[in-house]
A and B are shown apart, each in its own frame.
Chain A
Amino acid sequence: MEFTRREAPYLAPRSDVATMMLHVLAALVPAALAHVWYFGPGFLFNLIIAAACCVGGEALMMHARGRNVETALSDYSVLVTAALLAFALPSMTPWWVTATGSLFAVIVVKHLYGGIGFNIFNPAMAGYVVILVAFPMEMNLWVAPRMGDIDYDHLSIMQTLKYTLTGSYPAGQTFDAISRATPLDAIQTGLRGMRTFQELRINPMMGDFGGRGWEWIGNCIAFGGFWLLLKKIIRWQIPAGVFAGVLIPAGIMWMIDPGSNATPGFHLFSGATILCAFFIATDPVSAATSPKGRFIYGVGIGLLIFAIRRWGSYADGVAFSVLIMNMATPAIDYLTRPHIVGHARRGASR
């Protein structure tokens, strides 16, 4: 009897990339529902366009690189990129803006660097930054969230779809009539206009601890994030690092001068801090990989987010922070190699 030849170990692996990516997508579902609830159906249109462009772009690139298209698409990583990009976009975004970001993310940032596992930068964030710089006005069209007590006029599904497909505002509406400053924007501009945080806080755009709507999307994201932690799809070091990096300087600044600084809670629940901590910074490919290195990587991102919000010219700084720390990962990994069992500890006397 002839037996098959294999290499040890012979037990089957316990997980696979596709399952990991599907978990990440599933963890985003509650937040997606909250997003649609607060900011309208535009999110879904963006998601569909982003997904179509990402999948198309990946298929095209795999074909061009002479690889099997199916092997790349079957890991679902490109859908995670699409979803993260959709979360970063204003709910009202013309399709070509979304398409530009998606295609840049997949074609340039992911596949020109060698595809999954080889990209230096987080594709979704690099794609986002490109359209943020290329389409500043479109990327600023945030509508008001659903508020319950006092409601703005909301655009209908058809109006949203028309804008997404053509970029034209509904009859009689203008950019200024539809768009609202995001809470981070409002606070940054207000504080720089010498108003106090307490004053700005009274605005109905502000919710209980962050911006209206944003805080609940944030909660849903955190819920999904904790589920991923529980499932060990992600590890605690990066989220903990990001939170520490944002909250500690925010707390210190706020304690020194509560008038001209937002509360740490506001920093946490507004903008993309939570999304970044659990879903963006945790992209394993572009993140640091040693356990200690991941914490440092997270802290770096958090500090940069806070610095950009506090002193920079963009209201939020998640994408820039992530891209900057992506560049630092090889150095971080090198400097944070763990102690190898049986070797003298670094720094210990020999």
Chain B
Amino acid sequence: MTAPTYDLGKLHGGLRLEGRKTEATREPIYRVPVPAQLILPISQHVGDDAQPVVGIGERVLKGQLIAEPDGTLGAPVHASSSGKVVAIEPWPVARRFGAKAPCIVIECDGEDTPIERAETPPPYNTLPPDVLLAMILQGGIVGLGGAVFPTAQKLMQAVTCELEYLILNGVECEPYISCDDVLMREHAHQVLGGAQILMHALSLNVGYVVVESDKPEAIQRLAEVMSELNDDRLVLKQVPTIYPSGGEDQLVQLVTNLEVPSGGLPTDIGCLVQNVGTAAAIYDWIIDHEPLVSRITTITGDGIAQPMNVEARLGTTVADIVNFAGGYTDRAQQLIIGGPMTGKSVTIDEVPIVKATNCILVLSEPATIGDERPCIRCGECAEVCPIQLLPQQLFWYACADNEAKLREHGLIDCIECGCCDLVCPSHIPLTADFRKAKGRIQELADEKARAERARQRFEARNQRLEKEQQDRDRELAGQKEAAKQAGPAAIAEILKRKQQGSEDD
């Protein structure tokens, strides 16, 4: 059995948060039955919207391609059960405060008939990397840790870099969320198999599987499967339970003791990070030919009767899953899609779960925390900031809207982890303020770019006008010169004409 190793780099700050995960991990993963209706947003990934390739009234099968990316960055969407497309229309989704986005609505027939695969591809380890990457692109796989970056594109970018390590992210540091934990416990084969596929596709020889210390069962299971696989490229690493060590850049720093450059990617320093769920999805697609049509989601919080982890088809609504988990308790007041530190607050439960949905959190209102007070500059926020920013200074400059100082103090580098909020004795919503300030900086930058374009156009016009003026001047000077050379006779002629002209009036 491979023992987990501990030779780790350091992360600044962070918080030890109460896990509150055991409520949902007591039971195995339950499968949510096929719902009456599936709502599939055509954009469940970072990048451009996919375009529907099915029409209203068309019958679709489980696993059938229903929307295809047309831009450079995107991922396809597959039907997660069989049925009939009844609408393609805007529907509330789990963006902030339940904004609407175009969705394909499928009325399920309940038979869950899968699509026939045309042919069985040869084993993956006989395929060249580019063919393998193209196959991954077809599977609709995106980063399942929450960032939902299209995996195929991430890998295509990675192959252009000098890579050293694959880092499999099983840290899942946010409280309440346990979908990766139960995935590693119950599907360790898929997770590690996915890692092997990734390492083959990228010709990598070191794959770290990193798990937080509060998941002993997952670590145990992974170690068992590792010894079965007998693949010495895979190394199990355990990291201390500190939020936010599961952030991609933070994890890289923990494992390699190298900092991901500001504005850069882990691949810049030789690391490719993939969530364990993504690795399992790759395995399911490449080995079992199942595209990404379902995911494991934690449904928990004091507003849920029976907290649990479920495997649900993408497009199943939160309401359906809550019903499956015994419904709401009378304490349910807040619905959060994602975790309690970075999740999104939504007001209605009609929203579908998508590739990004790792958790459905239903909470009671927190006890009254008192109003926001002025910052007393205690600096606790700086103590916990994993980026080593000075949130107390950023807050000051955000209030003053001082863009130059905000940039100088690294606002752009803020990962919005929320640690500073939790330790602020003045209860200032720092993360929300920083999010807004970032938005304003972006606006300013856009405005500047627009102004720059306008300036360039204006200058080009001025230049053109100036050139025309010069041409005219030159022409005029030439005429004058000609007139001079033509001599006094010509002048007399002109004068005469002028005189005639005035007489004509």
Is the CB of A173 closer than 8 A to any CB of chain B? no
B379 and A290 contact, CB distance less than 8 A? yes
CA distance in complex: A11, B347 (Å): 18
Is the CB of A157 closer than 8 A to any CB of chain B? no
Shortest distance between the CB of A238 and any CB in chain B (Å): 10
Question: In the complex, what residues of B have CB within 8 A of residue A294's CB?
Answer: 379
Question: In the complex, what residues of B have CB within 8 A of residue A10's CB?
Answer: 334, 336, 340-341, 343, 345, 361, 363, 366
Interface residues of B in 385-437 (CB under 8 A from A): 386-390, 392-393, 409-410, 413, 416, 418, 421-427, 429, 431-432, 435
Question: In the complex, what residues of A have CB within 8 A of residue B333's CB?
Answer: 3-4
A3 and B423 contact, CB distance less than 8 A? no
Is the CB of A16 closer than 8 A to any CB of chain B? yes
CA distance in complex: A198, B347 (Å): 77
Shortest distance between the CB of B343 and any CB in chain A (Å): 6
A342 and B264 contact, CB distance less than 8 A? yes
Question: In the complex, what residues of A have CB within 8 A of residue B260's CB?
Answer: 342
Select A71's contact among B328, B373, B435, beta carbons within 8 Å: B373
CA distance in complex: A7, B421 (Å): 11
Question: In the complex, what residues of A have CB within 8 A of residue B386's CB?
Answer: 341
Shortest distance between the CB of B101 and any CB in chain A (Å): 18
Is the CB of A204 closer than 8 A to any CB of chain B? no
Q: Quick one: closest A residue to B378, CB to CB?
A: A284
Question: In the complex, what residues of A have CB within 8 A of residue B340's CB?
Answer: 8-11
Question: In the complex, what residues of B have CB within 8 A of residue A116's CB?
Answer: 373-374, 376
A342 and B373 contact, CB distance less than 8 A? no
Is the CB of B116 closer than 8 A to any CB of chain A? no
A2 and B379 contact, CB distance less than 8 A? no
CA distance in complex: A234, B491 (Å): 95
A291 and B383 contact, CB distance less than 8 A? yes
Is the CB of B127 closer than 8 A to any CB of chain A? no
A338 and B390 contact, CB distance less than 8 A? yes
Q: Quick one: closest B residue to A12, CB to CB?
A: B366
Is the CB of A148 closer than 8 A to any CB of chain B? no
A6 and B431 contact, CB distance less than 8 A? no
CA distance in complex: A9, B421 (Å): 7
Shortest distance between the CB of B409 and any CB in chain A (Å): 7
B418 and A9 contact, CB distance less than 8 A? yes
Is the CB of A175 closer than 8 A to any CB of chain B? no
A sample of 15 inter-chain contacts (CB < 8 A) reads A3-B335, A13-B425, A17-B373, A17-B426, A116-B376, A289-B379, A337-B409, A340-B262, A340-B389, A341-B259, A341-B386, A341-B387, A342-B260, A342-B261, A343-B262
Query: What is A's interface to B at a CB cutoff of 8 Å?
Result: 1-17, 19-20, 71, 75, 77, 114-118, 232, 235, 284-285, 287, 289-291, 294, 333, 337-343
Query: Which 3 residue pairs of A and B lie closest in terms of their CB atoms, listed nearest first?
Result: A9-B418, A117-B374, A342-B262
